[in-house]
A = this chain, B = another copy of it.
Amino acid sequence: KRRLVYSTRSALAIEKETPEENRPDTFLREADSHVTTSTVRSRFEKMIRDAQDTVCASIEAADGVGKFKEDVWSRPGGGGGISRVLQDGAVWEKAGVNVSVVYGVMPPDAYRAANPGADHKPGPVPFFAAGVSSVLHPKNPFAPTLHFNYRYFETDAPKDAPGAPRQWWFGGGTDLTPAYIFDEDVRHFHSVQKNACDKFDPSFYPRFKKWCDDYFVIKHRNERRGLGGIFFDDLNDYDQEMLLSFATECANSVVPAYLPIIERRKDTPFTEKHKAWQQLRRGRYVEFNLVYDRGTTFGLKTGGRIESILVSLPLTARWEYDHAPEEGSEEWKLLDACINPKDWV
C-alpha cells in the first residue's frame, strides 16, 4: 500500500490556485458535500478546519501581539485551502497553520502497480487528499519549535469495477524541536502524545514514536532535526472510524502538549550565544525540510502553493563551517539527543 501513495504523488501535477476573498464553508466538491455530511471526507475537513481555528486562537492569545494573516485559495475543479501566518509576534518569530483539500487523478499504472491482485484494468483513479499542517517557530532560544500535520487520502471507488472498495489512508504526527533540552518539557510533550495514543491502542505510542525518530533524520548528518514525538503514514490497517477519532485526538492534543512549554520558556533571559545556537539548529531544520521532508519536496516538485509550503522554514537560519559544541555543554546534550533518540516517558 505504501507504493500506491508514493506513485500517485510523483505522478500528480496540480492545477494553479486562485486567491479567494472569503472562506467557503467547505472546499469539497458539490457531489461530495451535498450527499451527506457524514462522509469521512466531510468530517475530516471539518476536523482540520476546527484544529486550525483552535491552534491559531491559542497562539494569538499566548503571543499577545502578533495576529495571523489569512490567505484563502481554491482550485478550478474543486478543492482549496486556507493559509494562516503570524510573523514577528512577541513570542513567535514565524507561525504557520495551513489546511488544504485537494482533488487529483491517479494514473492507472500507479494503481495497478500497487494492486497486483486486481484482475480488472481500471481507468484513471480520482482521489481526494486533505490535511492540516503547521510549524511554529518561537523567538526565545529556550522555547521549542513545534510541527504537526494530519492528513487523509482516499481514492474514488473505481467506476468500471462496481462494488470494488474505496481505498483510504491516514497520516500525520506531532514533533518537538528545541535548541536546548529541559527534561520536564520534553517529558510533558511526549506524555501528551502517549496519552492520546493509549486511548486507542497500546502499540501506537511505541510504534509511532519510533517511526518519528526514523523519519526526521537529516541523513547526511546522521542526526535528527529534533526530539521527536509521533509520526505515522499510509495507515489503513485499522478501523477507519477509529483512525479518524485518533487523528482528531492527536490534533486536539497539540495545544495542551505545546502551550504549557511556551508559557514556561517564552520570557527566559538568553545571550547571543544561545541565539546563535538556536539559529544553527534552524539551519538544520531548513536542511531537513528542503532535502528530505516528503510533503515539502512533493509540494515543490508538483507546483503547490509555494508560500504555503515554505512557511515551514524559519524566519532566520545560520550555517557555520565545521561547528561542534563542546563536549558536556548544553548544546552538546541537545545534539547528542538528536543523534541518539531517548525514551522520554
Residues of A within 8 A of B (CB): 69, 71, 85, 87, 94, 96, 219-221, 279, 283, 286-287, 290-291, 297, 300-301, 303, 306-307, 309-311, 313-322
Contact = CB atoms under 8 A, between A and B. Distances in A.
Given A286-B286, A286-B290, A316-B317, A322 B300 contact: no
Task: Give chain A's interface secondary structure class.
Answer: mixed
Nearest to A71: B322
A87 B320 contact: yes
A17 to B, nearest CB: 13
A306 to B, nearest CB: 5
A321 B94 contact: yes
Given A286-B317, A291-B297, 12 more contacts: A69-B322, A87-B320, A94-B319, A220-B303, A220-B306, A220-B309, A287-B290, A290-B291, A291-B291, A311-B321, A313-B319, A316-B317
A59 to B, nearest CB: 15
B307 A315 contact: no
Contact of A315 (B69, B87, B287, B318): B318
A204 B39 CA distance: 62
A325 to B, nearest CB: 15
20 contacts: A69-B321, A69-B322, A71-B322, A85-B322, A87-B321, A219-B300, A220-B300, A220-B303, A220-B306, A220-B309, A279-B316, A286-B286, A287-B310, A290-B290, A291-B300, A307-B322, A311-B321, A313-B319, A315-B319, A316-B319
Contacts of A221: 306
A94 B318 CA distance: 11
Contacts of A87: 320-321
A69 B85 CA distance: 41
A8 to B, nearest CB: 20
